[in-house]
């Protein structure tokens, strides 16, 4: 467009915005009942899709499936560390193309809730904060601290400006009807004291000053200052009330399942319970609710938080990790959304009148003029019958019946009517590509490898007395930090020596004289590692090489940014001659940040001296493996099954598909044989996969694959057999119907 035309178009748009608001620019406001678009109250159904947890190629389909599922709004966080990995250097390409994502949502005719934060939580590395932020002198996160506030404001303003430049706010004709500042600060603000209180006031006024033209929310923030809308997050929010009668009752996170951790069983949430929670919310005056997540997706690369958040972020969401609708969850919720929308005119007209219909039975009636809608709930755990307006209604336990005309039940949340499909993984043997292009049965010869040196191998290593904290040392440039020590024993050393290591986490491998002697790992509940490893020392020089590793940085809690990781000690040798113990903690250790293979860029597969003789090392710690493979044919989503491998990270054509850890098995107990949806849900109520690896299948987005030749590179930490790796495709299976 020529400059003059651009200016003309701009003026025209501006003119239309001012003078013809309903057609082009929406005026978003709120009152006690609801959000208002151009003065009209609306009932909204929203769902979370985090754009970096899928690929741009997947976005249109995910958004369409959301629309088909009855959503009006797509909610996403903005992930600061993804967009500004180095201070002042921005990345908004590929999976980080936020503008494109927002535009695609708009193109589908849906609205956007942009949760800028910029603290996200979200089981995302470091809660979304860039690591460089931690190194700004004098900084204290999420409190009344000038350096922090300056950075938070700069990034928030940057995002707001970006959206404005593209006319993406509803006030400009775009899809964004809401923005969020901070995230659940009210849950953890106590230890921040008075400074936390003033920080929230500052955050509210800073956000307001950015003039987005649309309302801001603060979730889980009972003291959210006006005009911020304080909203609810949880498995149920029907009992929630905002902090002012002038604000609507909104639910920003209705957890559709729960996240998976390495070492944990797989959580799921029955759709009958979700539907019950949603219906109860609208029954009790709510007008906006958001599924967290509607599509969870994948923690590619090193984006997962934690520690110990798995690479899959499936979340048991209505759309599964691979982009396939999950039935009957998706379909039943779609039916529910239709039923709620049939009540919209009544819902926005008035507050409900709530009456008891008996023990655990409750009616809410929205009646105004000629419209009338009713919700009849049984919040008890046994089935019941209720009389309402002279009619008798069967009310199954833990359910809500929706009557858009106050008479006829169009839906009961416990009765699933939607036709149901299943989807399942079909294993395919890994077709390895010979140079000649043929597919091979025996794969050993098609793998090549490089051994990662044990201990110090890079010339940027450094020595220091004492043990260092890991995150301050690596700045999260790598998961890995070597702690190395060489120690001399002049005479006999006892055969029963024990190496005792205490670490803040998250896992470690101990090598004595070049051999793996033992490992230790924390878990999602307690990241700390405390191990006693029996070792054999020799007379003379001994090397102790400790590889400490992080598995996603802490993303939640008061002062979570300072919790730390790594071997901070003590490290001792117990049971030496005469039973003595020596403390090695304050010795002079040599440190190496990251791996040699990382520095060399082995993950691309295109550099490095790869060995390809026939003696492929198996079950050898610290090994890089590489192969070429043919993509499974068709368009079904693809996963790699890492059964047989230990722990590490994998790259397909240079793109990291995330950390793999199929050897981390969930506890044997805690999984109920069946999960009764009746009664209050909690994140540990319904678990499956006990005693099994938490995650064996890892998503490889189709768009990262070429039809013919692809490179797979793995870094294996603890030892595995890459020839056992297989592919799976996810296919939609048989049609069955619930009655």
d(CA 585, CA 135): 25
Q: How far is the CB of 255 from ligand GAL (least distance, A)?
A: 6
Q: How far is the CB of 286 from ligand GAL (least distance, A)?
A: 18
Count of residues touching ligand GAL (by CB under 6 A): 9
User: What phi and psi values does residue 657 have, to the nearest 5 degrees?
Assistant: -90, 0
Q: How far is the CB of 463 from ligand GAL (least distance, A)?
A: 39
* CA distances for 314 relative to 254, 446, 735, angstroms: 15, 32, 22
CA dihedral 54, 55, 57, 60 (to 10 degrees): 40
CA dihedral 11, 15, 17, 21 (to 10 degrees): -160
d(CA 717, CA 120): 30
Residue nearest to ligand GAL (CB): 121
Q: How far is the CB of 618 from ligand GAL (least distance, A)?
A: 37
What single DSSP character describes residue 699?
E
What single DSSP character describes residue 685?
T
Q: How far is the CB of 122 from ligand GAL (least distance, A)?
A: 4
Among the listed residues 80, 148, 235, 259, the single contact to ligand GAL using CB under 6 A: 259
Q: Does 321 bind ligand GAL (CB under 6 A)?
A: no
Name the residue nearer to ligand GAL (CB basis): 295 or 431: 295
Name the residue nearer to ligand GAL (CB basis): 121 or 409: 121
The residue range among 116-124, 158-166, 646-654, 686-694 that interacts with ligand GAL, by the rule CB under 6 A, is 116-124
Are the C-beta atoms of 533 and 567 separated by less than 8 Å?
no
CA-closest candidate to residue 486, choices 594, 595, 589, 592:
589
How buried is residue 659: exposed, middle or buried, by Cβ count under 10 Å (0-12/13-18/19+)? buried
Query: Helix, strand, or coil here: 491?
Result: coil
Give the x-and-dash track for 631-650 against ligand GAL (CB under 6 A).
Answer: --------------------
Q: Does 233 bind ligand GAL (CB under 6 A)?
A: yes
User: What phi and psi values does residue 185 have, to the nearest 5 degrees?
Assistant: -60, -35
Are the C-beta atoms of 183 and 221 separated by less than 8 Å?
no
Q: How far is the CB of 345 from ligand GAL (least distance, A)?
A: 32
d(CA 278, CA 489): 68
Binders of ligand GAL among residues 167 to 226 (CB under 6 A) are 183-184
**Both tokens assigned to 424:** 């399942």
Among the listed residues 72, 75, 144, 253, the single contact to ligand GAL using CB under 6 A: 253
Among the listed residues 26, 58, 121, 379, the single contact to ligand GAL using CB under 6 A: 121
Q: How far is the CB of 373 from ligand GAL (least distance, A)?
A: 31
Angle between the N-to-C axes of helices 146-165 and 193-209, in degrees from 0 to 180, rounded to the nearest 10: 20
d(CA 468, CA 378): 57
Are the C-beta atoms of 377 and 402 separated by less than 8 Å?
no
d(CA 34, CA 348): 7
Q: How far is the CB of 233 from ligand GAL (least distance, A)?
A: 6
- DSSP E strand stretches across 638-709: 638-641, 648-652, 655-660, 687-688, 697-700
Name the residue nearer to ligand GAL (CB basis): 183 or 310: 183
Q: Which of 84, 123, 151, 253 is catalytic?
A: 253
Name the residue nearer to ligand GAL (CB basis): 183 or 412: 183
Name the residue nearer to ligand GAL (CB basis): 196 or 569: 196
Q: Which of 84, 151, 184, 717 is catalytic?
A: 184
Are the C-beta atoms of 248 and 287 separated by less than 8 Å?
yes
Q: Does 232 bind ligand GAL (CB under 6 A)?
A: no
> CB atoms < 10 A from the CB of 59, how many?
22
Q: How far is the CB of 184 from ligand GAL (least distance, A)?
A: 5
Name the residue nearer to ligand GAL (CB basis): 125 or 474: 125
**Both tokens assigned to 522:** 């924390």
Among the listed residues 72, 75, 84, 123, the single contact to ligand GAL using CB under 6 A: 123
The residue range among 117-125, 436-444, 637-645, 714-722 that interacts with ligand GAL, by the rule CB under 6 A, is 117-125
Please state whether beta strands 497-503 and 571-574 pair in parallel, antiparallel, or not at all (unpaired).
antiparallel
**Both tokens assigned to 591:** 């440190």
Are the C-beta atoms of 294 and 307 separated by less than 8 Å?
no
184 is catalytic: yes
Q: Does 122 bind ligand GAL (CB under 6 A)?
A: yes
Name the residue nearer to ligand GAL (CB basis): 218 or 467: 218
Name the residue nearer to ligand GAL (CB basis): 52 or 621: 52
716 is catalytic: no
The residue range among 120-128, 159-167, 406-414, 537-545 that interacts with ligand GAL, by the rule CB under 6 A, is 120-128
Name the residue nearer to ligand GAL (CB basis): 45 or 120: 120
Give the x-and-dash track for 526-565 against ligand GAL (CB under 6 A).
Answer: ----------------------------------------
Interacting residues with ligand GAL (CB under 6 A): 120-123, 183-184, 233, 253, 259
Active-site positions read 184, 253
């Amino acid at each position: 467009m020529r400059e003059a035309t651009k200016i003309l178009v701009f003026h025209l748009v501006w003119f239309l915005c001012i003078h013809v608001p309903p057609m082009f620019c929406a005026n978003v406001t709120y009152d006690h009942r609801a959000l208002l678009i151009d003065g009209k109250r609306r009932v909204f159904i929203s769902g979370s899709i985090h754009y970096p947890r899928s690929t741009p190629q997947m976005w249109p389909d995910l958004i369409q499936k959301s629309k088909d599922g009855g959503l009006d709004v797509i909610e996403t966080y903005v992930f600061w560390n993804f967009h500004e990995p180095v201070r002042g250097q921005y990345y908004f390409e590929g999976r980080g193309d936020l503008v494109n994502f927002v535009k695609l949502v708009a193109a589908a005719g849906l609205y956007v809730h942009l949760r800028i934060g910029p603290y996200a939580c979200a089981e995302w590395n470091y809660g979304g904060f860039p690591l460089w932020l931690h190194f700004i002198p004098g900084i204290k996160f999420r409190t009344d601290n000038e350096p922090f506030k300056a950075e938070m404001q700069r990034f928030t303003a940057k995002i707001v400006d970006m959206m404005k430049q593209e006319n993406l706010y509803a006030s400009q004709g775009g899809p964004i009807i809401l923005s969020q500042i901070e995230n659940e600060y009210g849950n953890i603000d106590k230890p921040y004291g008075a400074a936390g209180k003033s920080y929230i006031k500052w955050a509210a006024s800073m956000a307001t000053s950015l003039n987005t033209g649309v309302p801001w929310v603060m979730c889980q923030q009972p003291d959210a200052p006006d005009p911020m809308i304080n909203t609810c997050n949880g498995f149920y929010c029907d009992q929630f009330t905002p902090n002012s009668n002038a604000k609507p009752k909104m639910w920003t996170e209705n957890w559709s399942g729960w996240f998976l951790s390495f070492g944990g069983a797989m959580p799921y949430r029955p759709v009958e319970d979700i539907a019950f929670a949603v219906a109860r919310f609208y029954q009790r005056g709510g007008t906006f609710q958001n599924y967290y997540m509607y599509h969870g997706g994948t923690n590619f690369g090193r984006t997962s938080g934690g520690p110990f958040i798995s690479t899959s972020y499936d979340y048991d969401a209505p759309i599964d990790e691979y982009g396939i609708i999950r039935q009957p969850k998706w379909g039943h919720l779609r039916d529910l959304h239709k039923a709620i929308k049939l009540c919209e005119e009544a819902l926005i007209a008035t507050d409900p009148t709530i009456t008891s219909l008996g023990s655990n039975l409750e009616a809410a009636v929205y009646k105004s003029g000629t419209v009338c809608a009713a919700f009849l709930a049984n919040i008890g755990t046994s089935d019941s019958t209720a009389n309402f307006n002279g009619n008798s209604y069967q009310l199954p336990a833990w359910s809500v019946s929706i009557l858009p005309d106050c008479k006829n039940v169009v839906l009961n949340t416990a009765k699933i009517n939607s036709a149901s499909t299943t989807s399942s993984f079909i294993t395919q043997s890994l077709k390895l590509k010979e140079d000649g292009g043929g597919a091979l049965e025996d794969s050993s010869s098609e793998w090549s490898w490089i051994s990662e040196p044990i201990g110090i191998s890079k010339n940027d290593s450094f020595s220091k007395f004492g043990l260092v904290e890991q995150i301050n040392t690596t700045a999260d440039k790598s998961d890995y930090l070597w702690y190395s020590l060489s120690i001399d024993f002049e005479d006999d050393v006892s055969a029963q020596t024990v190496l005792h290591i205490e670490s803040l986490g998250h896992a470690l491998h101990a090598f004595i004289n070049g051999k793996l002697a033992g490992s230790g790992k924390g878990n999602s509940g307690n990241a700390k590692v405390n191990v006693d490893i029996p070792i054999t020392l020799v007379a003379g020089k001994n090397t102790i090489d400790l590889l400490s590793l992080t598995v996603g940085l802490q993303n939640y809690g008061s002062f979570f940014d300072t919790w730390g990781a790594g071997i901070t000690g003590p490290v001792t040798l117990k049971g030496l001659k005469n039973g003595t113990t020596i403390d090695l903690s304050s010795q002079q250790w040599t440190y190496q940040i990251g791996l040699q293979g990382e520095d060399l860029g082995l993950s691309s597969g295109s550099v490095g001296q790869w060995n390809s003789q026939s003696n492929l090392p198996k079950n050898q710690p610290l090994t890089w493996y590489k192969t070429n493979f043919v993509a499974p044919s068709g368009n079904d989503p693809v996963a790699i099954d890492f059964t047989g491998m230990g722990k590490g990270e994998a790259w397909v054509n240079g793109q990291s598909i995330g950390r793999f850890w199929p050897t981390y098995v969930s506890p044997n107990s805690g999984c109920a044989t069946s999960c009764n949806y009746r009664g209050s849900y909690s994140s540990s109520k319904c678990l499956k996969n006990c005693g099994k690896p938490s995650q064996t299948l890892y998503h490889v987005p189709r768009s990262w694959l070429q039809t013919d030749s692809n490179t797979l590179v793995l870094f294996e930490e603890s030892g595995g057999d890459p020839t056992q790796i297989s592919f799976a495709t996810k296919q939609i299976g048989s049609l069955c119907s619930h009655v």
